[in-house]
């Protein structure tokens, strides 16, 4: 069955106003280390699910526990209620599992600031409306030190202006243009956007030598 001639709508409308992500304000949680992979963010054994429920329990599951299974002093045990995650280089590398940013989001993360991100991870953040901002290593280090010294102090990420404000000062960060555009325009839920071009999709497909004519 193709969608052609079916009664199912080939385009649909979603209000974008409520989906705009312009700023995230709250408190921080620092997770230090380069190349933190998505197997660490959520081990594969917790992916055996057909829904997104309960993933917050599994965020950094192994890293949050000692050998005897007791919770340790991992930031995800210590900074409950924080919403701005601050990380280092190549965060989210490895597996494409969207369960990783989903688990972080369900734990409470609404924005991430880091030295750099793996591409698929950053794309997944965009799909979820979570800004992933990059900053110079010194900026990240200062922010992590600040959060550790004053865990309750406020931090604000301005997505549009690409700045982070904390401790009475404002520093520059970078947000990938496509991500920033999608967040501030409220078009990060791409289903409606992509489906609005169904005729152009059919046209592109018809020109490809390997797609059967239909």
- With contacts defined by CB under 8 A, name the span among 23-31, 36-44, 145-153, 158-166 that binds another protein: 36-44
Decide whether 25 or 192 has the Cβ nearer to another protein.
192
Residues 170-199 that bind another protein (CB under 8 A): 176-182, 185, 187, 189-191, 193-195, 197-198
Residues 3-22 that bind another protein (CB under 8 A): 3-4, 6, 8-10, 12
The DSSP line for 49-113 is -SS-TTGGGGTTTTTTB-TTS-B-S-HHHH-TT--EEE--TTBTBS---THHHHHHHHHT--EEE
The one among 27, 40, 83, 144 contacting another protein by CB under 8 A? 40
Q: Which residues contact 25 (CB under 8 A, 6 or more apart)?
A: 154, 155, 156, 157
Minimum distance from CB of 131 to another protein (Å)?
13
Q: Is 77 in the site for another protein (CB under 8 A)?
A: no
Long-range contacts of 77-80 (CB under 8 A, 24+ apart): 78/151, 79/27, 79/28, 79/29, 79/30, 79/147, 79/151, 80/108
Minimum distance from CB of 43 to another protein (Å)?
5
Q: Give the integer Cα–Cα distance in Å for 163 and 175.
A: 9
The one among 118, 140, 143, 155 contacting another protein by CB under 8 A? 118
Decide whether 165 or 196 has the Cβ nearer to another protein.
196
The one among 76, 98, 105, 175 contacting another protein by CB under 8 A? 98
Decide whether 41 or 155 has the Cβ nearer to another protein.
41
Q: Give the integer Cα–Cα distance in Å for 56 and 204.
A: 41
The one among 106, 127, 141, 151 contacting another protein by CB under 8 A? 127
Minimum distance from CB of 75 to another protein (Å)?
17
Q: Give the integer Cα–Cα distance in Å for 38 and 46.
A: 12
């Amino acid at each position: 069955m193709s969608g052609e001639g079916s009664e199912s709508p080939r385009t649909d409308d979603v209000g974008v106003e409520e989906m705009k992500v312009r700023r995230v304000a709250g408190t921080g949680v620092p997770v230090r280390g380069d190349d933190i992979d998505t197997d660490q963010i959520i081990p594969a054994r917790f992916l055996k699910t057909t829904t997104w429920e309960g993933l917050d329990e599994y965020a950094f599951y192994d890293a949050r526990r000692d050998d005897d299974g007791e919770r340790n002093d991992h930031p995800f045990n210590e900074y409950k209620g924080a919403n701005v995650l601050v990380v280092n280089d190549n965060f989210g590398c490895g597996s494409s599992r969207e369960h990783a940013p989903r688990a972080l989001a369900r734990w409470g993360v609404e924005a991430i600031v880091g030295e750099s991100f793996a591409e698929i991870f950053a794309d997944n953040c965009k799909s979820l409306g979570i800004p992933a901002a990059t900053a110079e290593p010194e900026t990240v280090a200062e922010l992590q030190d600040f959060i550790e010294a004053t865990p309750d102090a406020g931090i604000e990420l301005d997505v549009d202006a690409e700045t982070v404000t904390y401790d009475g000062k404002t520093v520059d960060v970078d947000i990938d243009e496509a991500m920033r555009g999608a967040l501030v325009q409220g078009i990060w839920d791409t289903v409606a956007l992509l489906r609005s071009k169904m005729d152009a999709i059919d046209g592109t497909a018809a020109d490809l030598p390997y797609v059967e004519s239909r």
